[in-house]
């Protein structure tokens, strides 16, 4: 049997997570544990850097949701072995996040993805599951002294629950540092502003970056990543506008999306993806001229 070598084992673990190899990652983590490597070293040198790369590839459209889910599961398979040791070592997370899907909504793929990526980034994640009541969010946030409450919704009919949670957390007298962030397919920045949420993210990778900023952790965003985020905001503005009822309101919203699209193009956004949005915007404007 070859002698244990920490650097090469961590490199293998790093690669296993990026490739989504959930069969190999627990064995590599266990090998580190058996050779007296601290859990903190495994997390900070193996798990978190690997998930950072996965998140970066997701932002660049090199990975899609299935690949990220597979990588996150490989990370989680290793992290499960480390949890008891992390507690013994008193390793502090960078923050606590209570996450769940809004009342009446049973969809959890997006929520699960965000939760696993948050864990990979060093957060302590308390997952309430789906169909979560306002009281569940408030109670768990108070009980765990959460830094962030994250609410997901896939249905427009369940989005209204987000404002109820925001209001309830404010009324409950939780610390002002407790932030509420929201996301999901029908959710936009405009809606987040309307309901008083502290933040909104258009995808899982952006959600992790947002959560990091909320707790004061350093987040580096390249010009390419900023442009990609703007494209997602264009998409959200457009999709929000076309759901409006009045023609004048639709036109106004679509024009706002077009202005942002042009700004994103000037900042170097992916032209192919952006052009498909611009084509849809122009078709919608033609309908309301």
Q: Which residues are paired to 126 by β-bridges?
A: 98
More confident residue, 220 or 237: 237
**Euclidean distance between CA atoms 103 and 130, whole angstroms:** 7
pLDDT score for 242: 82
CB atoms within 10 A of CB 173: 8
Buried b (16+ CB within 10 A) or exposed e, 258-274: bebbeebbeeebeeebb
* Look-up of token digits 């502290």: 198
Domains of the chain in sequence order: 1-91 (1.10.1240.10), 93-219 (3.40.50.280), 223-287 (no CATH)
Strand 179-183 and strand 96-102: the pairing is unpaired
**Euclidean distance between CA atoms 19 and 271, whole angstroms:** 28
Segment 242-260 shows an average pLDDT of 86
Nearest partner of 151 among 174, 167, 128, 120, judged by Cα: 128
pLDDT score for 52: 80
**Euclidean distance between CA atoms 202 and 200, whole angstroms:** 7
Question: Under DSSP, is residue 267 helix (H, G, I), strand (E, B) or coil?
Answer: coil
Segment 213-224 shows an average pLDDT of 76
CB atoms within 10 A of CB 38: 16
pLDDT at residue 1 tops 60? no
Confidence grade of residue 144 (pLDDT, cut at 50, 70, 90): very high
**Helix locations, 20-132, DSSP H:** 25-34, 39-42, 48-59, 65-89, 109-120
Sequence-ordered list of residues with C-beta below 8 angstroms from that of 21, at least 6 positions apart, any chain: 15, 74
pLDDT score for 91: 67
Q: For residues 192 and 200, is the Cβ–Cβ distance under 8 A?
A: yes
pLDDT at residue 80 tops 60? yes
Chain length of the chain: 289
Q: What is the DSSP string of 115-148?
A: HHHHHHTT-EEEEEEEEE-HHHHHHHHHHHT-SE
pLDDT score for 161: 95
pLDDT score for 25: 95
pTM for this entry: 0.68
Confidence grade of residue 139 (pLDDT, cut at 50, 70, 90): very high
pLDDT score for 221: 65
With pLDDT > 90 as the criterion, what percentage of the chain qualifies? 39
pLDDT at residue 120 tops 90? no
Give me Rg for the CA atoms of the chain: 21
pLDDT score for 9: 95
Segment 28-44 shows an average pLDDT of 91
Confidence grade of residue 240 (pLDDT, cut at 50, 70, 90): confident
Q: Which of 27-31, 181-185, 219-223, 240-244 has the lowest mean pLDDT?
A: 219-223
Q: Which of 4-8, 101-105, 265-269 has the lowest mean pLDDT?
A: 265-269
**Euclidean distance between CA atoms 211 and 95, whole angstroms:** 9
CB atoms within 10 A of CB 113: 20
Sequence-ordered list of residues with C-beta below 8 angstroms from that of 62, at least 6 positions apart, any chain: none
pLDDT at residue 5 tops 80? yes
More confident residue, 93 or 259: 259
Tens of pLDDT, residue by residue over 167-206, are 999 999 888 889 999 998 788 888 899 999 999 988 777 8
Nearest partner of 114 among 34, 209, 192, 255, judged by Cα: 209
More confident residue, 240 or 198: 198
**Euclidean distance between CA atoms 161 and 220, whole angstroms:** 32
């Amino acid at each position: 049997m070859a002698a244990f070598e920490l650097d090469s084992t961590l490199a293998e673990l790093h690669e296993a997570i990026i490739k989504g190899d959930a069969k190999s990652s627990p064995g590599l983590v266990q090998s580190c544990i058996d050779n007296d490597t601290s859990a903190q070293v495994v997390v900070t040198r193996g798990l978190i850097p690997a998930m950072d790369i996965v998140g970066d590839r997701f932002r660049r459209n090199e990975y899609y949701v299935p690949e990220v889910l597979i990588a996150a599961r490989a990370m989680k398979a290793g992290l499960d072995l480390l949890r008891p040791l992390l507690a013994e070592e008193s390793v502090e997370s960078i923050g606590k996040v209570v996450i769940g899907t809004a009342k009446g909504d049973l969809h959890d793929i997006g929520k699960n993805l965000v939760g696993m990526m948050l864990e990979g980034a060093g957060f302590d994640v308390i997952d309430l599951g789906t169909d979560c009541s306002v009281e569940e969010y408030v109670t768990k946030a108070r009980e765990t002294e959460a830094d962030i409450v994250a609410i997901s919704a896939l249905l427009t009919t369940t989005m209204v629950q987000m404002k109820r949670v925001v209001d309830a957390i404010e009324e409950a007298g939780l610390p002002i540092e407790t932030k509420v962030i929201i996301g999901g397919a029908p959710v936009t920045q405009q809606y987040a502003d309307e309901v008083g949420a502290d933040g909104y993210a258009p995808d899982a990778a952006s959600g992790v970056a947002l959560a990091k900023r909320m707790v004061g952790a350093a987040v580096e965003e390249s010009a390419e990543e900023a442009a990609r985020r703007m494209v997602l905001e264009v998409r959200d503005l457009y999709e929000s506008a076309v759901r409006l009822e009045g023609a004048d309101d639709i036109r106004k919203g679509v024009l706002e999306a077009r202005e942002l699209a042009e700004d994103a193009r000037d900042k170097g956004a992916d032209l192919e993806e952006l052009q498909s949005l611009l084509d849809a915007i122009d078709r919608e404007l033609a309908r309301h001229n």
